[in-house]
């Protein structure tokens, strides 16, 4: 059993708990977690007993559970581990409390949330894919207009399918018309899209059965928006 503490010890403990509770509350910004001073007040009100006479299941930082008093739990958390006492399950007849480094716990939780949010943003978009068509050798004015429209879709989270088409006379004039147009579009969009490692799907190209080089007549690629 735990002996009663003197008044000086009790006041020091309450003062320490109050400071830690205030700092933790300010850092978290919510009242969802009950720890230290707030935990003592809550359980004393619930059981109408002094903290010396309230039994709890105490979980150590090493996940070892023991039965002790609330007062002793606070002392162990503060003096032995230099940590906080957090209420884990206060609805049980013998409440479960855990010794934790509350600031570290909040930091780890915040870091984990950022990782999950980043992963979710990298997942395929549920928004419909928008198709934007370009002609090989497109003029500067039309190119800028279509690029601006594409960027607007990407910023809203839409994947964009870029389709480049070419008339035969255009590729006869310049056999690289399609690839040059694609390179220009990619350069203008690269800051807004995730890199597509597969590259574009090419229509045409290669050589025929007689060994005659075939013109590249078109190209298609889907770009996914970068996380905003």
Q: How many helices (H) and strands (E) does the chain have?
A: 7, 8
**CA dihedral of 119, 122, 124, 125, whole degrees rounded to 10:** 110
Count of the separate structural domains present in the chain: 2
Write down how long the chain is: 228
Residue 177 main-chain phi, psi, to 5 deg: -60, -40
Count other Cβ atoms within 10 Å, centred on residue 47: 15
* pTM exceeds 0.85: no
206 and 107 part of one domain: no
Backbone torsions φ then ψ of 79, nearest 5 degrees: -85, -35
Tell me: do 150 and 194 sit in the same domain.
Answer: yes
- Structure confidence by residue, pLDDT tens digits, 166-213: 888 877 888 888 988 999 999 999 889 988 767 788 887 665 566 656
| Whether residue 152 is found in the same domain as residue 188 | yes
User: For residue range 128-141, what is the model confidence (pLDDT) as tens digits?
Assistant: 999 999 999 898 99
Give residue 174's domain range.
130-223
Residue 196 forms part of a structural domain: yes
Question: Is position 2 within any domain?
Answer: no
- Do 101 and 143 belong to one domain? no
Position 212 in a domain: yes
Instruction: Give a yes or no: residue 140 inside a domain.
Output: yes
């Amino acid at each position: 059993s735990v002996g009663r503490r003197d008044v000086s010890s009790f006041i020091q403990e309450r003062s320490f708990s109050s400071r830690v509770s205030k700092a933790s509350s300010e850092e978290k910004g919510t009242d969802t977690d009950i720890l230290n001073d707030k935990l003592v007040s809550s359980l004393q009100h619930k059981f109408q007993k002094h903290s010396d006479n309230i039994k709890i299941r105490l979980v150590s930082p090493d996940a070892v559970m023991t039965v002790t008093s609330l007062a002793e739990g606070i002392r162990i958390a503060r003096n032995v581990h230099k940590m906080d006492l957090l209420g884990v399950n206060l609805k049980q007849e013998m409440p479960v409390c855990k010794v934790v480094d509350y600031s570290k716990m909040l930091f780890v939780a915040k870091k984990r949330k950022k990782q999950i949010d980043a992963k979710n943003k990298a997942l395929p978009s549920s928004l419909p894919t928008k198709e934007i068509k370009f002609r090989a050798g497109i003029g500067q004015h039309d190119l800028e207009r279509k690029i601006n429209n594409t960027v607007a879709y990407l910023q809203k989270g839409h994947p964009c399918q870029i389709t480049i088409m070419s008339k035969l006379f255009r590729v006869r004039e310049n056999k690289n018309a399609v690839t040059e147009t694609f390179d220009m579009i990619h350069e203008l969009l690269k800051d807004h899209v995730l890199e597509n490692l597969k590259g574009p799907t090419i229509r045409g190209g290669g050589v025929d059965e007689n060994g005659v080089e075939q013109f590249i007549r078109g190209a298609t690629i889907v770009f996914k928006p970068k996380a905003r």
